[in-house]
Amino acid sequence: MALEADDLKVTRQRLSRRVGELQQELGRETSLRSSLEDSHSALLTRVKEMEAVVQREREEVGEGEERGCGGQCSNFIVTTMNV
């Protein structure tokens, strides 16, 4: 009977230690996930900012073409290709 009690005590200690290890691992993974989500959010914000910059530049180029720049550029390209 005493031997069974010792075995149960040892098993209980092992399980308790394992539960502690798993709780630490869960804490690390939770922290990592939070960090990755923050990084993803920051990256997404930067991508949206760059999309806005690209859109503004496209609009500026479009306005330049309306003022005749597009035709001048096309003529320049054709001229340089014929040289």
pLDDT in tens, 21-49: 999 999 999 999 999 999 999 999 999 99
State the average pLDDT for the chain. 87
Model confidence over 2-11: pLDDT tens digits? 788 888 999 9
Model confidence over 45-59: pLDDT tens digits? 999 999 999 999 988
4-37: burial string, b at 16+ Cβ within 10 Å, e else? eeeeeeeeeeeeeeeeeeeeeeeeeeeeeeeeee
Domain spans of the chain?
Answer: 2-82
Helix (H, G, I), strand (E, B) or coil at 70: helix
In the prediction, which pLDDT does 2 show? 78
- Beta carbons of 81 and 75 less than 8 angstroms apart: no
